[in-house]
Amino acid sequence: MAHDHHAHTAPADGTATTHRVRIRALQLALVANGLFFVVQLAAGIVFGSLALIADSAHMASDVVALAIAIFAQVLITRPPSTRNTYGMLRAEVLAAQANAVVLVLVSGWVCYAAVQRLSNPEPIDGLGVLIVGALGLLVNAGSAWGIARAAGANLNLRGAFLHLASDAVGSIGVVVAGAVVLTTGADWVDPVMSILISILVLFAAWQLLRDSTRVLLEGVPKGLDVAAVERSLVTAAGVEAVHHLHVWSIGSETPALSAHVVLAGELTLHQAQTRGEQLKAELAEQFGIEHATLELECHSCDDDEHDPGTRRRTVTL
């Protein structure tokens, strides 16, 4: 059995330039949201708006989420080592999970506070809520747009984006609540809108938690059809059969595969290795799987013919 040892590197799009762009987008969003959090919280207290306070709580979770995302983004740039042979690619997945949990906790608190407010409604300043909500919408939408441009399939940035996007939706709710209170005086709209905002946030958090957990449990990457991968290998020229096929993710942007591939014919070791490299290139081209380990099996994967009694040899690539 021969082994072709190759380095475990970052994903193809994980270049230094990509990481710099992502960190820059996160840093800008962190500064903008950190400053506006203070403004929004103060305005919520002054104007007596639970919707504004709820949105500021989401904004606070955004600040925490963005800080976690930046830290995780720095960690995944670290090269592989003898202790972490894959590097720290799953740091971004753990950050995504942490952000999802924060979203759930904040949304639960907002729902509880909103129910209490429904029982004991308080007057709010509709105009002030409307103005601050509109400003918050600009900050959140702008930050979400910047991160969306850099995110790609990165779960870490997706988590940060969901925080900001849900806050943008929350800001729309705040604007609506402020407009309704300003025109009708219906103060109950404020806590009701807070509950609706929280439900939307919980839905986004559940999706993020589900996808990050899939990576940690080494499930099949989202959008990748294992049956199609197996068909591609089985129908490739010179392949008799495929078994022990496993597909998972090292990180959200790094799908990996291992499989036993039975090659047809009497091949030399060199021929088997060449065919294995061709199969790996096809996997990368068709499915984006650039990290593949194939254990090739054939009747005589050896350069010499001195052992005719051997029925099957293996070579791992």
Instruction: Give DSSP secondary structure letters for 4-71.
Output: --------TT--HHHHHHHHHHHHHHHHHHHHHHHHHHHHHHHHT-HHHHHHHHHHHHHHHHHHHHHH
**CATH for 68:** 1.20.1510.10
Where a domain ends, among 166, 190, 216?
216
Where a domain ends, among 192, 216, 240?
216
Domain check: are 250 and 230 in the same one? Answer: yes
Residues 169, 200 contacting (CB under 8 angstroms):
yes
pLDDT attached to residue 16:
60
How far is residue 297's CA from residue 139's CA, in Å, rounded to a whole number? Answer: 58
Residue 100 lies in a domain: yes
Task: Give how many domains the chain has, as a whole number.
Answer: 2
Domain check: are 132 and 39 in the same one? Answer: yes
Q: How far, in Å, are 21, 78, 106, 130, 245 from residue 63 at the CA level?
A: 19, 24, 13, 23, 42
Q: How far, in Å, are 75, 150, 158, 207, 287 from residue 212 at the CA level?
A: 17, 19, 10, 9, 20
**CATH for 309:** 3.30.70.1350
User: Tens-digit pLDDT profile for the chain (317 aa)?
Assistant: 444 444 444 444 445 667 778 888 888 888 888 888 888 888 888 877 776 776 677 677 778 778 877 877 777 777 777 887 777 777 778 877 887 888 788 788 878 878 887 777 777 777 877 888 888 888 888 888 888 887 776 777 777 787 778 778 777 877 888 888 888 878 788 788 778 877 877 877 787 788 888 888 888 888 889 999 999 999 998 899 999 999 998 877 788 999 999 998 888 888 888 899 999 999 999 998 888 999 988 765 554 444 444 445 555 66
Q: Can you give the C-alpha Rg of the chain in angstroms?
A: 26
Residues 167, 55 contacting (CB under 8 angstroms):
yes
pLDDT attached to residue 118:
79
- Domain limits for position 134: 16-216
Helix (H) or strand (E) holding 316: strand 313-316
Domain check: are 106 and 137 in the same one? Answer: yes
Domain check: are 105 and 131 in the same one? Answer: yes
Domain check: are 246 and 132 in the same one? Answer: no
Domain check: are 81 and 188 in the same one? Answer: yes
Q: What is the pTM of this model?
A: 0.63
Domain check: are 174 and 140 in the same one? Answer: yes
